[in-house]
Each structure stands twice: as structure tokens, then as C-alpha cells.
Amino acid sequence: MARVFVYGTLKKGQPNYKHMINTAKGLAKFQGRGRTVEKYPLVIAGKYNIPYMLNIPGTGHHVAGEIYSVDEQMLQFLDEFEGCPDMYQRTLMRIQVVEWEGKGSTGEPRAAADGVLECFVYSTATYPPEWVGLPYHDSYDSSGKHGLSYVLRESR
């Protein structure tokens, strides 16, 4: 099992969460909520209003999201879903645990004493330079006050 931190449309209550609970794509077990230890710019960009975490550590906000344990099949699905490595790149980031539901089953790594975990995160270093000038968010909600509704793939 690998740890993945999701901050956008894959979170509970968001348009693509259905993929996280579709066991035909693999297993994803919700572990808790967290935020990035370092600050990153989280922008909503492109004609489909997609959330992107730009891989510019030290700029932006501590981005909030959810921590999942996923099996190899789900990790492969997420790589494909996220357009990895072209659109997003899967990198390890340090995530501060805010709320933990993980049961800590045998062999499952726990958070360090300081509550920090290493998780895979889909962020991007391949983006148009003008995205750096977009508003930065500390958390994402597809129907948030930003007014930029996410466009589902089926509707594109």
C-alpha cells in the first residue's frame, strides 16, 4: 500500500471522488485529513477549471486535502487518471496530519511523532507561466466561492 494525498476533485464530496471508491479500479482507504508542510500554489486553471498544485515549494499556502492508503492497482489508475507524468507528476511530499482515522493495521506505517507523513502527491512542474499569476487557494471545492465549476471529463 502507498500513501496518496489528494487536494482536488478526488476528495470526498468532489466530482471525481467516485473513482476513489470504485473497487474495480483498485483499493483506496481513507486515512485522514492533512495539509502540506511546505506552502504551494493551488490554482484553478484551463478551460475545464481543473485544480493544479504547482510544484513551487515555499510559495502559496499550506494546501489542505485527504490522505489515502491505496493499492498498486489504484496507484496505476491514479497515474493514468492524472495524466502522469505529462500533466501531473507524482512526487513525495511531507504532509502534516490534521485529523487521523487510520486504524494502524499491522504493517501500516503511522505518522511520525510530529504528525508528518510522506505521501505521493500529483502536482505539476509543467504549466503555462501565466498560471503563477492566478489566485492561490488553500483548499479546493468545485462549487466554491471562486465560481469556477469543474467540467467533468464526460462533459468535455
| pTM flag (> 0.95) | no
- Is 82 catalytic? The answer is yes
pLDDT per position as a tens digit, 3-25: 999 999 999 999 999 999 999 99
Residue 31: pLDDT above 90?
Answer: yes
pLDDT per position as a tens digit, 93-124: 999 999 988 665 444 455 555 789 999 999 99
- Would you state the pLDDT for residue 112? 59
Residue 41: pLDDT above 80?
Answer: yes
Q: Which residues are 122's β-sheet partners?
A: 90
Considering the domain delimited by 1-141, tell me its CATH architecture: Roll (3.10)
Selecting among 38, 66, 72, 82, the annotated active-site residue is: 82
Domain extents for the chain?
Answer: 1-141
